[in-house]
Structure 1
């Protein structure tokens, strides 16, 4: 499988990881099926809260809002 990550999305992920430091971050990748075994990431969400060593909580607001577009 080939996953295409556009530059602006890659840069955003890198920036968020740098801000998080050693904290865990989460989010959702939204993508498009381009060809057989090829997908392109079209949008991402980034979890803005939490992120402890063993923390996982889906915050519905951060999941639902991008899907409304």
Structure 2
């Protein structure tokens, strides 16, 4: 799988990471399917309230509104535009999913919501300018796997 991050989304992410400093933040990723196995992140929500120095758990209610607005903007064209996954920052740690991160994502795809797959993007701002990141795919009934991140 390949995930491309649109330039405006990357700029939004950079500003949010800069503002958060050493505190973890995150939200949901909203994507466009370019072709099978290739997605572009075209929007994201940002939870600036619930993160701490070494932990982030997003509030579902806060991001439901962002998803609803995204679906309205994209004409409820779910086959092309949809929820892609989650993101959060690791400002003080490696940009790889922690054991808790992986557990949360596995619960998400094995839960009752009917989500077959979701990606987890973990990011950090290096030198206040560059975004370091990793992206992992979580699929029902399969082991997590690395996702190729493409420049938008």
**Smaller-chain TM-score bracket:** 0.7 to 0.9
**TM-score normalized by structure 2?**
0.42
State the SS of the aligned residue for 1:52.
Answer: coil
Whichever structure has more strand as a proportion of its residues is 2
Q: 1:18 and 1:35, CA in 2 relative to 1: closer, same or farther beyond 3 A?
A: same
Equivalent pairs, count: 69
**TM-score normalized by structure 1?**
0.84
Higher Cα Rg, which structure: 2
Poorly superposed stretches of 4+, deviation over 4 Å: none
Gap runs ≥5 in structure 2: 70-152
State the SS of the aligned residue for 1:61.
Answer: helix
Could you tell me which residue of structure 2 aligns to residue 14 of structure 1?
14
Gap runs ≥5 in structure 1: none
Whichever structure has more helix as a proportion of its residues is 1
